[in-house]
Structure 1
Amino acid sequence: MKYLFPLVAVIVLARIAWVGSTIPGMQYVFGVDVPYAALILFIGGFCWRVIYWAKSPVPFKIPTTCGQGHSLPWVKRDKLEAPMNTTEVVGRMFMEIVFFRSLWRNTKAGIQPGPVLTYKSTKWLWFFGILFHYSMLLILLRHLRLFLEPVPFLISALDMLDSLALHPTPELSFYVTDALILLGLLALLLRRFILRPVRYISLANDYFPLFLLIGIAVSGIAMRYYLRSGVDIVAIKHLAVGLATFHPEITTDIAPIFYSHLFLVSCLLAYFPFSKLMHMGGVFLSPTRNMANDSGMKRHINPWNPEIKPHSYAGYEDEFRADMVEQGIPVDKELPEKADD
């Protein structure tokens, strides 16, 4: 099964950190060495991929359009779906990155008895995609409180709003995004299990990031709500601030569940630049999105075109006129008469 190996791999990774962190001296490896190595791979790999993509030439003007382009003055055009200048391209990119506009407009084609070709909306996919991505963003912002001292007011306010202040003790409050991110991930995973066409094209590298993210979410939820014994938040804060300031120090033993969670996060960081998750950076460099639909107004020069000196027909004829006349090929300009000796 294509999903079995990624699932087992994530379980094994979590188990390695759990068992390894109980070995004397290995807590520093899983708490300091591995996160730093993962961060180096993430930053280096991310920059390499973005620079490599940015250097790739775009031979054709290929913006994806699904609306009325610029035409006659009295014809209303779609400024977002067929942008003709930089301002409109920025607006389109903003809607795409912030609100996943193309996913909102996405449809699914199908054949009904008849046969009849039908198109159905897939806004449920947009909903769960938004649910996961924004929950992930809020969780990342929330975690900044572990790395910053003092904690900025906005981060504290976000933490309070996320927990809805349902419990008088902050340590026991329930975070809404914990449930929402798990719901979004499970929906995206079930989509690959249930929908036959999607299941057919899904590969192991499609399942692995999903299982890895689910493993991170589950281990984090378990550490906060169920396996709290030995999870010293003060020691974790001390380690996190030390990592951020490049003076890491582990002052006391921390429960193995924390190291499993941290190790899975490190694996995600290291794997990120070499996976399909790089759409986070690639969306900014996609020529189908970041180019204006102005090929009728501006000529797009292919950067692959070789530097060739123009040679007109008149120049060609001047160079080979004598040979052309000798072979009986018509010429625009006759050979000059030879002067009599």
Structure 2
Amino acid sequence: MIKCMFSLTVVIVLSLLAFVGAETAGFKAQFLFGVVIPYTALLVFVIGAINRVIGWARSPVPFAIPTTAGQQKSLPWIKPANLDNPTTTGGVFGRMFLEVFLFRSLFRNTKTQLSEGPKISFNLEIFLWLAALAFHASFFAVLARHLRLFTEPVPFAIRMLEKVDGMMQVGVPGIMLSGFVLLAAVSYLLIRRIIIPQVKYISLIQDYFPLFLIIGIAASGILMRHIFKIDVIGAKQLAMGLVTFHPVIPEGIGGIFYVHIFFVSVLLAYFPFSKLMHMGGIFMSPTRNLPGNTRAVRHVNPWNYPVHIHTYEEYEDEFREKMIDAGLPVEKE
């Protein structure tokens, strides 16, 4: 529980730092939180992500080590599992597609429980899968919607997404489903990590911190839209200034906006050094992107350096007399 509270405290301190600084320190603090920190965070994200991907790409993968959960293709009368143990490039593509867009391995994940008897039962982690799917889909929708702040005119696809996302015309401005789904999904993932003893036991500070940070981003975004109204035109002016590298700080945007953008900047800078980089790592993982064809193709380590092999014939030539004296059989007398 200490790890959880420490992460929560850090996020609260970050929010107070941005809000109080933007409200009391004036233009300098607003320029810091609205321009300097976002640019720095983006630079750290780009350099960190590239460095992480290059590190993965340079890691040696001398053998085929795909994760398998089914029968590999072998004899004609044995049915192979083409998705769980693909042997072709098409099979690997199909497995990767289902993994990236539908989290297939998480859907197949099971939890073990002791029931009366005692008996061991295996149950699907269906709610974890649904929460993860909802979290990633809503996060993507929120990111896509925010592109309207950085583009002029707003692309047609973004406008259509906003219409679908805001189909529940409740209040003014209308409710955007993705924001509330994001907040609910990430809250479920956090609560699950807190109340399930097995998950809580293996959780670290770096597991709690991004969850609280994303909760802060979602909550501050909802508050800006529905309670603490901000100057949307000023926010877009600031965003367009960042994109065109002509930053400006409009007056009267509101302190909560700087809290929101500070949270986003911290998450962006933290991203390459955290477990969140699984977004790019899944494509570089040899347990996912290699075919399971070890019965059909011999995989030779390309990093092996030439080694002189001491054959049995050479061994026998060297020790023949000693082998005969010891009564060991030899091929040549």
- Which TM bucket (shorter chain)? over 0.9
Matches within 5 A, 1:317-336: 321=317, 324=319, 327=322
* One of 75, 99, 102 as aligned partner of 1:99: 102
- 1:12 to 1:303, Cα distance in 2 relative to 1, 3 A: farther
Quote the residue 2:283 is aligned against: 284
Supply the distance in 2 between the matched residues of 1:217 and 1:251 (Cα, whole angstroms).
23
Supply the distance in 2 between the matched residues of 1:121 and 1:7 (Cα, whole angstroms).
30
Quote the residue 1:14 is aligned against: 15
Quote the residue 2:244 is aligned against: 245
Quote the residue 2:198 is aligned against: 197
The answer (yes or no) to whether the contact 1:58–1:303 under 8 Å persists in 2 is: no
- 1:328 to 1:176, Cα distance in 2 relative to 1, 3 A: closer
Q: Structure 1-normalised TM-score?
A: 0.90
- 1:83 to 1:328, Cα distance in 2 relative to 1, 3 A: closer
Quote the residue 1:337 is aligned against: none
Matches within 5 A, 1:1-341: 1-22=2-23, 23-24=25-26, 25-164=28-167, 166=169, 172-228=173-229, 231-314=230-313, 316=314, 321=317, 324=319, 327=322
CA shift for structure 1 position 327: 5.0
The answer (yes or no) to whether the contact 1:6–1:207 under 8 Å persists in 2 is: yes
Deviation per residue, 1:42-95 (Å, 9 max, x gap): 111111111111111124322122222212223322211110011110110000
Supply the distance in 2 between the matched residues of 1:68 and 1:332 (Cα, whole angstroms).
42
The answer (yes or no) to whether the contact 1:57–1:303 under 8 Å persists in 2 is: no
Supply the distance in 2 between the matched residues of 1:38 and 1:307 (Cα, whole angstroms).
47
Counterpart residue identity of residue 288, structure 1: T
CA shift for structure 1 position 17: 0.7
Counterpart residue identity of residue 145, structure 2: R
Supply the distance in 2 between the matched residues of 1:303 and 1:187 (Cα, whole angstroms).
46
SS of structure 2 residue aligned to 1:227: coil
Q: Structure 2-normalised TM-score?
A: 0.92
Counterpart residue identity of residue 4, structure 1: M
The answer (yes or no) to whether the contact 1:138–1:177 under 8 Å persists in 2 is: yes
CA shift for structure 1 position 253: 3.3
The answer (yes or no) to whether the contact 1:193–1:199 under 8 Å persists in 2 is: yes
**Unpaired runs of 5+ in structure 2?**
none
CA shift for structure 1 position 193: 1.5
Supply the distance in 2 between the matched residues of 1:220 and 1:325 (Cα, whole angstroms).
83
Supply the distance in 2 between the matched residues of 1:280 and 1:190 (Cα, whole angstroms).
23
Counterpart residue identity of residue 283, structure 1: I
The answer (yes or no) to whether the contact 1:165–1:173 under 8 Å persists in 2 is: yes
Supply the distance in 1 between the matched residues of 2:171 and 2:6 (Cα, whole angstroms).
43
The answer (yes or no) to whether the contact 2:72–2:86 under 8 Å persists in 1 is: yes
Of 8-17 and 299-308, deviating more is 299-308
**Unpaired runs of 5+ in structure 1?**
335-341
Counterpart residue identity of residue 252, structure 1: E
CA shift for structure 1 position 304: 4.6
Supply the distance in 2 between the matched residues of 1:301 and 1:26 (Cα, whole angstroms).
58
Counterpart residue identity of residue 286, structure 1: S
- 1:305 to 1:145, Cα distance in 2 relative to 1, 3 A: same
The answer (yes or no) to whether the contact 2:74–2:295 under 8 Å persists in 1 is: no
- 1:303 to 1:115, Cα distance in 2 relative to 1, 3 A: farther
CA shift for structure 1 position 167: 5.7
- 1:124 to 1:165, Cα distance in 2 relative to 1, 3 A: closer
Identity of aligned residues (%): 49
Q: How many correspondences in the alignment?
A: 326
CA shift for structure 1 position 190: 1.0
Counterpart residue identity of residue 225, structure 2: R
Supply the distance in 1 between the matched residues of 2:4 and 2:234 (Cα, whole angstroms).
36
Over aligned residue pairs, what C-alpha RMSD do you find?
1.9
Supply the distance in 2 between the matched residues of 1:236 and 1:308 (Cα, whole angstroms).
65
Deviation per residue, 1:223-247 (Å, 9 max, x gap): 111111xx11111111111111222
